[in-house]
Amino acid sequence: MNIYMRQVLAWIKSLASINLHVVATAIVSIGILHICATLASPFLVEKSAYVRMKKQLPINEMKILPPVTPTSQPLPFLSADVRYAMCRFSSTEGPITITASLPDKGWTLSIHTPKGDNIYTATGYSSHTTLITLKIVASSNSFSGLTPQSLGLSNKEDPIQILEAKKGFAVLRAPDRGEAYIRETILAMRRAKCFHAKQ
Amino acid sequence: MRFAIHKLKKRAINLVSAMSDWAAFIGIILIGGIGSSWYFVSAGTALTTQVTGPWVMWTNEARSDADPYTRAHFARQATLNLSTKVASTFIARTDSDGVRLHSSCEYKINGKDLNASWWSLSVFDASGHLIRNPIDRYAFTSDTVAISPNNEFVITLARSVQPGNWLPTTGAGRLTAVLLVLDGRNSSTINPDEFQEISLPEINKVHCR
């Protein structure tokens, strides 16, 4: 028997001395800890995007942010290729209405939850302006007002989309095409509104 | 007296031995559990990411039905990303040869005009901060990039002034390139597999200082 065979046999013998209960306990414990650590990770984040932006944004009001630069970059990986308008909404005291128009390609309106989930996104087209009206309610069961039809009015406007979220962000992104277009871009961004539906 | 000390010593050794066994056991569990979770959340796996050359995309990014790893990854980053239902965000931390991007090197990003309604390519430092530069240029988009007649573009990442599409990277250390590809179609009609057909740009190192 050569030396390698002896080494292999010695290794197999040493394996037999390992307590399989201990190994199984370790593997199960590692698995449980892995799952707990992964699930808990989003809640252990010291400063989420929502928390970081909270102080800068008034509640239920669309605010156009200054151009993103190295000195005024509110979030990591927030690119300077677009101008941002954001609204921090809270629908706990009543539905929130968000309106925006997306005049061109590259424009987007997205709704994010405090955890960062993107629950709604609309993108613009180069062929036409997309008009968006969203109603954000705290619970889909809550009364969010009478429809135009029930008030005896014809509904000529774009259909209102209803989303369920208690808190979050509305983010309007407008491509920054340079100095020559900035006035036009800001004017289009100012048309975006975020307000309490009772107003 | 001597015997008592010897007995005490033996007991202490046994106690330390048992405690060190437990400490090793708990240590292995902590390192295995938390370490594996940290790695899966930071780097992703084949189940959560799609890798094309140097570009990595988290396939369930910012979606309400995202898996726990993706959710934890982006919560930790504290970013506001667009859902993969309408956009794909590709992140490159290495060049096409797999070497870490660094501001001491010059790179050419060669690509064809992407089959998308709009796209942008930005460069950040390793932590996701924009890189200070005298011309205030941090990104190129499909609107602003200079494209050649054969529909190709070259973006240069370099410290010193370069002709064409130059993104300055002065003194940033490790670099991260982010490519956002936006699809202008209705989100409900998008097939996520279609994004795989995008021919992503190559990142080629020119030289290092």
User: Partners of B152 in the beta sheet?
Assistant: B112
The mean pLDDT value of chain B amounts to: 86
- Are B130 and A115 in contact (CB < 8 Å)? no
Do A100 and A123 touch, CB atoms closer than 8 A? no
Whether residue B127 is found in the same domain as residue B144: yes
Whether residue B95 is found in the same domain as residue B117: yes
Percent of chain B with pLDDT over 70: 93
CATH second-level architecture of A49-196? Sandwich (2.60)
- Are B38 and A42 in contact (CB < 8 Å)? no
- Are B117 and A126 in contact (CB < 8 Å)? yes
Whether residue B29 is found in the same domain as residue B62: no
Using the predicted structure, report yes or no on whether residue B189 has a pLDDT greater than 50: no
What mean pLDDT do residues A49-78 have? Answer: 89
Number of domains in chain B: 2
Using the predicted structure, report yes or no on whether residue A152 has a pLDDT greater than 60: no
ipTM field: 0.78
Q: Which residues of A touch B74 (CB under 8 A)?
A: 116
Q: How far is A196 from chain B (nearest CA, A)?
A: 23
Whether residue B137 is found in the same domain as residue B195: yes
- Are A26 and B29 in contact (CB < 8 Å)? yes
Whether residue B146 is found in the same domain as residue B194: yes
Measured between CA atoms, the residue of chain B closest to residue A41 is B72
Whether residue B59 is found in the same domain as residue B93: yes
Whether residue B154 is found in the same domain as residue B186: yes
Whether residue B90 is found in the same domain as residue B173: yes
Q: Which residues of A touch B38 (CB under 8 A)?
A: 37
Whether residue B32 is found in the same domain as residue B119: no
Q: Dump pLDDT digits (tens) for B130-147.
A: 999 888 889 999 888 888
Residue B27 lies in domain: 1-43
Q: Dump pLDDT digits (tens) for B54-84.
A: 999 998 888 888 889 998 898 888 888 888 8
What mean pLDDT do residues B19-38 have? Answer: 89
What mean pLDDT do residues A105-120 have? Answer: 87
Q: Which residues of B touch A121 (CB under 8 A)?
A: 82-83, 85-87, 187
β-bridge pairing B202-208 and B105-112: antiparallel
Going by pLDDT thresholds of 50, 70 and 90, the confidence category of residue A146 is low
Whether residue B65 is found in the same domain as residue B37: no
Whether residue B156 is found in the same domain as residue B56: yes
Using the predicted structure, report yes or no on whether residue B190 has a pLDDT greater than 50: no
- Both tokens of A105, joined, read 């390609």
What mean pLDDT do residues A157-166 have? Answer: 76
Whether residue B10 is found in the same domain as residue B77: no
The mean pLDDT value of chain A amounts to: 83
What mean pLDDT do residues B150-158 have? Answer: 90
Measured between CA atoms, the residue of chain B closest to residue A109 is B82
